[in-house]
Amino acid sequence: MKISTLLSARALHVAAALLFAAVFIPLGLTRLVDADEGIYLINARMTMEGQVPFFDYYYPQMFLLPYIYAAWMWVTGPSWYGGRLLSSVFTIALGLALVHHVLRTTRSHVAAGIGALLFASTSLAFANLPLVKTYAFATLALFVAYSLATWDSVRWRWLLCGALIGLAIDVRLYLAAAVPIFILAALRDGAPRRNVHELLGGLALALAPNLYFYLRGPDVFVFNILGTHGIRSPLGLVGGLAQKGEMLLNMIGINASVGATSFQFKLLLLGNLAWAIACLARRQRPSLAVQIAAVVLVASLLPSPAYGQYFAILTPFLVLGVVELGASAARDAAGHAAGLRRQLAGVAGVLVALYVAVAPIDVWWFTRGGTIVPGVFTRQAVVNWTIPTINAVGRAVDDLMPPGDRTAFSWWSGYFVETRARVHPLMTNPNTLYMAFGLAPEEVERYKFMTKAEMDRHIGMREAPVIVLGNWLTPESVPPYRRYILASGYVLARKLGDTEVYVAPARTSANP
């Protein structure tokens, strides 16, 4: 008797949940910090405290993510580990949705188990989805929308599908590129007019809150979610084809290798390409999962510059495409000789084993190695990007902050997630410092940007009692800032890793 017949669907889901929890929760709690995470968390804290994205602080994404994590913070309090835990829960839910979908569509416990194993061991998933960024929730919403679109027995499924797509877009705007794929799927299913009406109704319902932000300030809203991406790099809004091509080649291991990610990503792409070709050879459309993966892959290349971690959103769809290919091959081989079936099973087993075997390479890179993590420039800098070190810096700031003062200055706001102190409100996102050059003075004020002149004045006048010099800055940019801080009269009070905490001279006598 095959092992698949011995396992119930419930037992499979429990086993998958335990696997995902064993992978994503520990990695979520120990993974080196991504530079952008500190910004997202501080924005969530500001939202929890009543501030509004775009208008009270600069926020270059759609509105929803700060509110999701702010609501969580009402339960856990502002916390690095709390934020990571929520992202890990979203990732576990995503994995379970994948397993449920495979089991429902293939009726194969083996296929569902392989899907779970591939998802849990995909470095794009475990290195990026448990982060406090836009990936986990948006991917979960988009994948559940896809699964509902293929589930005939769910009432109002197209309404729910549209609402979930809208929620994904409310987190990451370019996922709107998937909407036409869902519309085409709705048109091919049952009552097309009703389906499309439901889909668009759910989409409109989820996107409706954007009207509040738009009506409050059209210019500010549009600039934050669109205009800012046209000035954040010299490449423009969707330019820089050479950079994007080079990044894509690195992701598939042609120009360079990005840890185990390149090997795994290459296998996933090849598997999905083979599945698409097989569908076309049978005069069938490529599966909906492959279509969504292709559209989202292209959409992920639109922002300039583009980063490989954007492809984390593709992970469940690419894994599903490979599983669909394997399930189809198993069905086709059922009528052939046992020897051929064993050969196919052996090849598949070797590929899966290799795929899983390389995963620990990226576990090490993202928890210890560090140099492929954005912001971690050297192996020596790894200690600066651990949650314990970041929280230790925050405690030092609180210790050194004089009574009555709460605002400190830093180039990275992640130190202040759990502190009583607050980072300067115009430095919650330090990217504004580098993007302000092309803006008029009234635009700088309206969009909540910090200029270099204002920063120099702030330091030179010693307006902040405490300055933190550390994360976010490149190694070569630290010495000039250090010299200016010291020349302005600040004194080094603490050093944790490579992070330096300075205090204004009138404050030093009272500090240990």
The pLDDT tens digits of the residues spanning 186-217 come to 998 878 889 999 999 999 999 999 999 999 99
Q: Nearest 5°: phi and psi at 254?
A: -90, -55
| Count of other CB atoms within 10 angstroms of residue 61 | 22
Tell me what the pLDDT averaged over the chain comes to. 92
% pLDDT > 70, the chain: 96
pLDDT confidence band for 511 (50 / 70 / 90): very low
Say how far apart CA 118 and CA 296 lie, in whole Å.
20
Q: Which residues neighbour 224 within 8 Å (Cβ) at sequence distance 6 or greater?
A: 53, 54, 58, 59, 60, 447
pTM for the full predicted model: 0.94
pLDDT tens string 138-190:
999 999 999 999 988 778 999 999 999 999 999 999 999 999 999 999 998 87
Token pair listed for 220 = 């500010």
* Better pLDDT: 192 or 62: 62
Distance between first and last Cα of the chain: 71
| Helix H or strand E encompassing 256 | none
**Angle subtended at Cα 184 by Cα 178 and Cα 190, rounded to the nearest 5 degrees:** 135
pLDDT of 507 above 60? no
At 121-138, the pLDDT tens digits run 999 999 999 999 999 999
Q: Are 35 and 375 in contact (CB under 8 A)?
A: yes
Does 28 score more than 50 pLDDT?
Answer: yes
Q: Does the structure show a pLDDT above 90 at 365?
A: yes
Judge whether residue 408 has pLDDT over 90: yes
C-alpha span between 375 and 360 (Å, rounded): 22
Does residue 338 have a pLDDT over 50?
yes
Average pLDDT, integer, range 78-99: 98
What is the mean predicted confidence (pLDDT) over 38-51? 97
Decide if pLDDT at 233 tops 50.
yes
